[in-house]
Amino acid sequence: MGTWGPNAFENDAALDCMAEIVDGGGLAAIDRFLDGVLRTGGDYLEAPDAECTLAMAEMVASLAGRPAMETDVPPEIAEWLARAGEAPTPALMAKASLATHRVVTEPSELLDLWQETPDFPLWKASVDDLLGRL
């Protein structure tokens, strides 16, 4: 894992997938990505997709006026959030919540990877906090 912390933006995969959003994809790109995650159903969810899901859900929560208190948002994402100018629809909020739930539901590579670390409680608390804000 190219990960340095338990929060949504503290991994390489999340930062990589944020480029499409920041470079013009906006909420439509988030919506399409979350649709893809939800289509996995009971199939194995790969860790990079799960990490992107959490970062996108974090952006949705922030745009809805419910940002994380302890998440360090990278500057380019903070700038995008400040100028985005659109709030997520209730449907997108619900989709972000469902996709976040999918990340912590087996089979999920990211869940498996975090369960193998001593920081699993921190990661799980971060995800639970996000779910509470969605």
pLDDT digits (tens, 9 = 90+) for 90-134: 999 999 999 999 999 999 999 999 999 999 999 999 999 999 999
Q: Is residue 28 part of a domain?
A: yes
45 burial level (CB within 10 Å; 0-12, 13-18, 19+) = buried
Q: Is residue 2 part of a domain?
A: no
Q: Is residue 40 part of a domain?
A: yes
Q: Is residue 123 part of a domain?
A: yes
- Residue 11, beta-bridge partner list: 3
| Dist CA 126 CA 57 (whole Å) | 12
Q: Is residue 46 part of a domain?
A: yes
Q: Mean pLDDT, the chain, as a whole number? A: 93
| Dist CA 134 CA 53 (whole Å) | 13
> Per the omega criterion (within 30 degrees of 0), is the bond before 74 cis?
no
Domain extent at residue 61: 12-133
Give the chain's domain count.
1
Q: Is residue 1 part of a domain?
A: no
| Dist CA 80 CA 97 (whole Å) | 21
Residues 6+ apart with CB under 8 A from 101: 131
Q: Is residue 57 part of a domain?
A: yes
Q: Is residue 3 part of a domain?
A: no
| Dist CA 79 CA 5 (whole Å) | 22
- Name which of 3-7, 61-65, 87-91, 130-134 the model is least confident about: 3-7
Hey, what are 23's tokens? 């470079």
Would the pTM count as exceeding 0.85?
yes
| Dist CA 20 CA 80 (whole Å) | 11
Backbone phi, psi, residue 28, to 5° = -65, -40
